[in-house]
Amino acid sequence: MARLVGYELGDRFARGGMAEVFLANPPPHLRAELGDHVAVKQLLPELEAKDEFLDMFLEEGKLALLLEHPNLVRTVGVGTIEGRHAIVMELLRGSDLRKLCKSAKKHGIGVPIEVVVRIAIDACRGLHAAHEARGRDGEPLYVVHRDVSPQNIFVGIDGAVKVVDFGIAKSNLRGYETQGGMLKGKVPYMAPEQIKCEALDRRADVYAMGVTLYECILDARPYAVPNATEFALMLAIAKHDIVAPRERSASFPVELEKMVLRAIAFDPDDRHPTCAALADDLERGAKSADRSAVARWVAEIFDRAGRRNKGEEATLAPQSREPSPREAREAQRRLEAHAVVAAIEHVAGLTVVRFEGRIDERFSGRELGSALSGSLVLDLAGVERITSYGVRAWLEMLEAIPTDAEVHLYRCSEAVVAQLASSSAFAGRARVVSFVVPVVCDDCGATSQLAIDVERSRDVLLDGRTPERPCERCGGRPRLDDDPSILGFVRKHAGSPLPARVRTVVDELDVRHESGIGDVLEKIVTADETRIVVRRAPRRALRLGRALDGVEGKLVIDFRGMPTMDGATSAAVLAALRGLDDEVTAIDLREVPEALARVAFEARPSARMRVLTVVTEGYCGSCSASRLGRVDGASYARALASSSPPAAECRRCGATLGSQGVPHESAHDGDALPGEPVAAVQRPMNVRSARRHLVLLVLGVVLAAAATAGALARRHAVFVEPDTRQPRTTTTPLPPRFPT
């Protein structure tokens, strides 16, 4: 990192949860260009050694250096000053648009439409420049701000407008993101596609500018919501439940209303294609003030507030506006409160809410329930675990949903099915539409999940069976890998047919799941890391190449949906990871199939790669079956070093797996890798083997009885030799020792 010399740090005038900002004097040769003062943002000393914070800080600086326009805050350097990482920016004097509008209202000044239109035009020009930005190689960066709002539009005391805070901007510098990403930005300004976690482009920023225009002029947001919770706003955005500007104020200009409504159109194709197009539209069709009028408005606000008279002009480096620790904690609490809600969308008149992750004490069930209404489909395929506190929060949600609402539970995960099977109250008034259960193929040992539509499989389910579906690996007939009594809850939900419109939505969701749209790989880019989740085993070989493009900083790969992996795929995945350049500083692997773990440790991975958890197979005494288990990487390493079986935890019940289990044969194609030691490991008999032994035993008893009867007639005694056959053994390669 380059050392920035000649900067003289002065007083600190801002401090947040991650950085602090100093007034500074630039080097003499830059003062003619930058003025007598600049703002220097530095990472807090205690965070300098934490890679995730440093990466986030430097990513912001790298992007900011590439953004140059009069309506964007100028960044002049990224490097180190006095041994600490720093971003040097022009010093701005003024305030953000939200504070200005709030102060104007408080002091009776008002917010002239012409002034807001001029500010919006200039902000659009700056955003368009960011959208058009190119990297050092000349390739488009495809920047999307994702957090356009009045708070991030800075207005100087000279009337200059600057778009600030590209801290969560999406760009090619940070790779690409797929569906299922984390919600980023401020909910009231999110476009519908952002709420649905779909792919975003510059038109999401057009939408946010439209909302900003609406709010600053009318002092209200465009959504018709019964309350102001974020859940209610998310639902209103997903349904496009908006109020036209002239419905709120008849004095709102007709032509301006048309422009605003176009900017906030539900379908991105119906919006202005670029922020430049929106700016041009505003220039032509709406009255706007000039820059001097904006400056006079700002000056009047400062005069009324008393700051200008005291010589206390607001001074702010806008990209340094970090939240206070208290604000940061509150923001994190709000984020965690609805983090399980991954997306909300409106499909054919129904509201679809998609859940992901854990439902626990952080889930604000009552708040979500009070925001829901009408016909609802809750997509629960991504729910991984429900704690006892989560059950209470879930029941509070169901209780808070209006009694006239129709609630349908779609693709209930194994965690949800376990709750449904243990308590009928868990479903409440809701109807279970479909669910998934674990199945296992006795022919090849493959485990998978079977999605069951309650209505279409009604007769089979009421008979205590599951629908038949051929094994994708060998064509055999998988069986339910659980106690059949778990299906008992179905009887309550296998009544009348689904309403036609609900069936339409369910079928559409099924197509999405089965076609694998956003279903195999999910890539989530946050300020701290890039996370890739393997949702399910692909029908062909797993390919990570494209998902790894542009990854920088910390990389986390979670193989949760692919518990087994063959040798060729393992080698290909490892090669892709080893081929990442030095900009990837850490690689954490979770839920790693044992075959991949073996190959990784044989290749002696670099220090930046860590195997955190490994998935193995063993016999669970609690379940009385062969189960997949999880063991942490350190314990797995010790077990391999001592040639002893790892103490894995059953993923179903949490009990410790026994030593009889071994990885699936498919994990290593039945052959030892070159140079690997080979040992004999007993595999417990599967159900078909047990049946064959039982038949043979009964046949032996019958034959023995017949022989004994014949012998008695001849007064001879015949003794039957006991069956001493042992379970079959198979040779299975043991993984190599971990490097010490």
DSSP per-residue string spanning 466-506: ------TTTS---EESS-GGGGGGGGGG-SSPPPHHHHHHH
DSSP reduced 3-state for 249: coil
Q: Percentages helix, strand, coil for the chain, rounded to the nearest 5? A: 40, 25, 40
Pairing of strands 625-632, 613-620: antiparallel
Residue with tokens 């797995």: 636
Longest dimension (CA), the chain: 126
Residues 4, 80: Cα–Cα separation, whole Å: 6
Q: Where are the domains of the chain?
A: 8-91, 96-316, 332-515, 521-683
pLDDT of residue 696: 52
Q: Cβ of 276: how many Cβ atoms within 10 Å?
A: 18
Residues 452, 459: Cα–Cα separation, whole Å: 12
Are 346 and 240 contacting, i.e. CB atoms less than 8 angstroms apart? Answer: yes
CATH code of the domain occupying 8-91: 3.30.200.20
Residue with tokens 């990854």: 551
pLDDT of residue 706: 54
For domain 332-515, the question of CATH label 3.30.750.24 is answered with yes
DSSP 678: E
Q: Which residues contact 228 (CB under 8 A, 6 or more apart)?
A: none
C-alpha pair distances (Å), 322 with each of 81, 218, 331: 20, 28, 12
Residues of the chain with pLDDT under 70: 1, 16-17, 174-185, 226-228, 307-339, 342, 515-520, 522-528, 538-543, 545-546, 604-605, 651-654, 659-740
Residues 96, 103: Cα–Cα separation, whole Å: 11
Residues 361, 386: Cα–Cα separation, whole Å: 10
Q: Which residues contact 692 (CB under 8 A, 6 or more apart)?
A: none
pLDDT of residue 685: 41
Question: CA dihedral in degrees (408, 413, 415, 418; nearest 10)?
Answer: 70
Amino acid at site 27: P
Q: Where are the beta strands (DSSP E) in 348-502?
A: 350-359, 375-386, 406-410, 431-432, 434-440, 447-453, 479-480
pLDDT of residue 205: 97
Q: How does pLDDT run across 237-292, given as a tens digit for each residue?
A: 888 889 999 999 999 999 999 999 999 999 999 999 999 999 999 999 888 889 99
Shared fold status for 8-91 and 96-316: no
DSSP reduced 3-state for 405: coil
Residues 160, 246: Cα–Cα separation, whole Å: 29
For domain 96-316, the question of CATH label 1.10.275.10 is answered with no
What are 362's two structure tokens?
Answer: 């952080």
pLDDT of residue 671: 32
pLDDT of residue 126: 97
As a three-state string, the secondary structure of 695-738 is: HHHHHHHHHHHHHHHHHHHCCCCCCCCCCCCCCCEEEEECCCCC
Q: How does pLDDT run across 713-735, given as a tens digit for each residue?
A: 444 333 333 333 333 333 333 33
Amino acid at site 458: R
What are 209's two structure tokens?
Answer: 């500018």
Amino acid at site 383: V
How many alpha carbons lie under 13 Å from residue 243 in its C-beta half-sphere? 17
C-alpha pair distances (Å), 126 with each of 33, 97, 101: 20, 15, 21
Q: Which residues contact 695 (CB under 8 A, 6 or more apart)?
A: none
Amino acid at site 359: I
Q: Residue 185: left (phi > 0), alpha (psi -120 to 50), or beta?
A: left
pTM: 0.58
Amino acid at site 398: L
- Cα Rg, the chain, nearest whole Å: 31
Pairing of strands 406-410, 375-386: parallel
Residues 710, 714: Cα–Cα separation, whole Å: 7
Q: Phi and psi for 610 in degrees, rounded to 5?
A: -125, 135
